[in-house]
Amino acid sequence: MIIFPAIDIKDKKCVRLTQGDFDKVNVYGEDPSLMAKKWAGYGAEFIHVVNLNGSRDEVGINDETLAKVAKAVDVPIQVGGGIRDEKRVKELLDLGINRVIVGTMAIENKELLKELIEKYGNDKIVVSIDAKNGKVATHGWEKVSDIDSVDLCKELEQIGVKTIVYTDISKDGMLEGPNFDIYKELSQKTSLDIIASGGVTSIDDVKRLLDMNMYGAIIGKALYDNRIDLKEVLDLC
């Protein structure tokens, strides 16, 4: 299982939000590239970056910072946040980003998603599913739809999606553990590579996801609050 240390960037700084609330911000560093170096130095083999400004359509604010993060480490970087069209996908890939994560676009414009997968490959295009009570949320978690998240995942697999990042919003940043039930259901009903996101808090959470054969797990707040030792987790996986 791949462990993805998370770096959330807002206004060029490394931050964490609680449940996606832009009014609940903790700043963990002025230079996200130094944080990337730290996690790579511990042995991380992939880094997950969220451009929080992008999720609010403030798209280019952090581009210089994203390029700096990509250049700072030799491990691949995946980036999500406000990627709504092919122009933005190409911009990020040109910055040196290895994989781009689309969210709202995957729900609102499946034809474009299909074109992007055909053009860039399903190893470059990852879909983020953010859900609350099993219903898909879009636009930086600010809108919750009536779309069932498992049904959407099945549909995405038919389109050609290979990898998803599934976040239970109610768990994110709460340090209460992931929603294991949804990951079990997705494993049973799809063949997608699933990256678990939201609420991974302890070494036991990681062991449980490992036992469930998850493709990956994103760890954010628990790393920054020293609840999980990254070296210990990486040795486990």
- Domain that residue 166 falls in: 2-236
Cα 42 versus chain centre, distance: 20
Write the DSSP assignment of 153-195 as a string of letters.
HHHHHHHT--EEEEEETTTTTS-S---HHHHHHHHHH---EEE
Q: What tens digit of pLDDT does each residue of 186-233 get?
A: 999 999 999 999 889 999 999 999 999 999 999 998 999 999 999 999
Task: Determine which helix (DSSP H) or strand (DSSP E) holds 48, and give its type and residue range.
Answer: strand 47-51
pLDDT value at residue 172? 60
Residue 95 in this model has a pLDDT that exceeds 70: yes
pLDDT value at residue 25? 84
Q: What tens digit of pLDDT does each residue of 110-157 get?
A: 999 999 999 999 999 999 999 988 899 876 556 788 899 999 999 999
Structural domain total, the chain: 1
SS3 content of the chain, % helix, strand, coil (to 5): 40, 30, 30
What's the CATH code of the domain at 220?
3.20.20.70
pTM of the full structure: 0.93
To the query of whether residue 8 is one of the catalytic residues in this protein, the response is yes
To the query of whether residue 130 is one of the catalytic residues in this protein, the response is yes
Per-residue pLDDT, averaged over 30-53, amounts to 96
Q: Which residues pair with 175 in a beta bridge?
A: none
Q: What tens digit of pLDDT does each residue of 47-86 get?
A: 999 999 987 777 789 999 999 999 999 999 999 998 999 9
Q: How far apart are CA 172 and CA 203, in angstroms?
A: 17
Out of 8, 168, 172, 205, which one is annotated catalytic? 8
Out of 23, 63, 94, 130, which one is annotated catalytic? 130
